Amino acid sequence: MRLDEQTRPDFPILQRIVNGRPLVYFDSGASSQKPRAVIEAMSQYYERSHANVHRSIHTLGEEATELYELARDAVQRFIGAASREEVIFTRGTTDGLGLIAETIGRTLAKGDEIVVTELEHHSNLIPWQLVARDRGAALKAVPILPDGTVDLAALDRLLTPRTRVVAFAHVSNVLGTILPVTEIVRRARTVNAITVVDGAQAAPHLRLDMSALECDFYVFSAHKMLGPTGIGVMYGRRAVLDSLEPGRGGSEMIKEVWIDHAQWNDLPWRFEPGTPPIAEAVGLTAAIEYLEKLGMDRVAEHERALTRQTLEGLARIPGVTLYGPPTAERGAVVSFTVQGLHPHDVAALLDAEGIAVRAGHHCAMPLMRRLGVVGTSRATFSVFNSPDEVSLFLATVAGLHSAL
């Protein structure tokens, strides 16, 4: 049985009719749809076990705490972290990257250097701009090559003894480029730089193993991997987390407090101030269990096939321009433009046929300037998408000009 044939009945929203057509959802790169298991797990939590966590002695508080911490164990297993203390819950990828920048930023000095790449999402660029401005650090960008891959030779030239941070995406949200994480980490280590990886577009689609990647930080969101909005994960290597003070203050992140000083809590709670996203953690556990039952290798194979079908089909349509590397080197992302049509018009015309895609600069404006376009239309895939949907999409794109 094909993966989509197995999964589609699990997603209630796929029963929707949009503009008189069955919904075709090709926007999981922005936010994926949710299987019934996730929806029901969160509903059951609210109906049976909701309370605040960690300090309540009563039954509901203990149940909520157990469910919340079970989510940490599930994430540890899913990403191959060495210990559960390395798993920090955030509000999402943007929040996690901001937290890392705020925390590391306090340790930087004037003249220190931060290296990013030209294909970064704004979430992995703006926080470092703010840090560079406030600390007097220099911000450098590794250029991309014509095929959409990162210029590693240029990276070597940019790395110096003053490089303190190397921040980059695992998978580009525009080009689908899969960056060589272990190789970039190895090169960054030669100058003792901290490595920060934006895994938002990788965690839903690829098997992860932090012990193999060896990066210092890895950040992703639940809502792109079949889970709920409002929760994300910041993995931090234990030795690095131990060396850092918390970036934000509040409850949960302290052991004792005096008027003029405080004693920080143990990991991971040192970096989790305030009431956490408890129901969302329950939903994240359900999403992880769902993906694990499917098997991440099977997920990746299914989505590679859809991506290949889409790229090959679009390449045969006159007036369509594709962006990014060959199929074997990319994630489940296809960005394209149609000659004579603004990307927003392409998305609106596709929506009229019930097909949801993304359009615009995709929060990567420096990359758009590098590509020489105002934006692109973008199709992204998940476990519930089918080859038949891709065929419908290709036929619709081919007929766009005649639809005007």
HEC readout, 237-277: CHHHHHHCCCCCCCCCCEEEECCCCEEECCCCHHHCCCCCC
Last residue of a domain, which of 268, 292, 316?
292
Whether the per-residue pLDDT at 404 is higher than 60: the answer is: no
Q: Do 144 and 188 fall into the same domain? A: yes
**Which range is least confidently modeled, 112-116, 246-250, 325-329, 363-367?**
246-250
Contacts of 21 (CB under 8 A, 6+ apart): 353, 354, 355
Contacts of 402 (CB under 8 A, 6+ apart): none
Total domains present in the chain: 2
Q: Do 121 and 264 fall into the same domain? A: yes
Catalytic residue selected from 191, 322, 363, 365: 363
255 band by pLDDT with thresholds 50, 70 and 90? low
CA 363 from chain centre, in angstroms, equals 13
179 band by pLDDT with thresholds 50, 70 and 90? very high
Which pLDDT belongs to residue 55? 78
Q: Do 16 and 116 fall into the same domain? A: no
Which pLDDT belongs to residue 342? 96
Q: Do 245 and 394 fall into the same domain? A: no
Does the active-site annotation cover 215?
no
Average pLDDT over residues 236-254: 82
Which pLDDT belongs to residue 252? 72
Q: Do 399 and 302 fall into the same domain? A: yes
The strand pairing partners of 117, in sequence order, are 142
Q: What is the pLDDT of residues 20-53, one digit of tens each?
A: 999 999 999 999 999 999 999 999 999 999 999 9
The tokens describing 116, both together, are 């990013």
Which pLDDT belongs to residue 401? 66
Average pLDDT over residues 174-184: 97
SS3 221: strand
272 band by pLDDT with thresholds 50, 70 and 90? confident
Q: Do 309 and 344 fall into the same domain? A: yes
Closest CA to 166 of 143, 135, 189, 148: 189
Last residue of a domain, which of 292, 313, 341?
292
Expressed as residue numbers, the domain containing 301 is: 3-32+295-403
Which pLDDT belongs to residue 259? 80
Q: Do 19 and 112 fall into the same domain? A: no
Whether the per-residue pLDDT at 402 is higher than 70: the answer is: no
Average pLDDT over residues 356-364: 97
Backbone angles phi, psi at 366, to 5 degrees: -60, -35
Average pLDDT over residues 231-237: 97
Average pLDDT over residues 387-403: 91
Q: Do 167 and 312 fall into the same domain? A: no
CB 151 within 8 A of CB 168: no
Give the span between the Cα atoms of 84 and 93, in whole angstroms.
Answer: 19
H-assigned helices in 106-218: 126-135, 152-158, 181-189, 210-213
CATH code at 23? 3.90.1150.10
Q: Which amino acid is at 344?
A: H
254 band by pLDDT with thresholds 50, 70 and 90? low
Q: Do 277 and 321 fall into the same domain? A: no
Provide the percentage of residues in the chain whose pLDDT is more than 90: 88
Q: What is the pLDDT of residues 58-110, one digit of tens each?
A: 999 999 999 999 999 999 999 999 999 999 999 999 999 999 999 999 999 99
Q: Do 175 and 259 fall into the same domain? A: yes
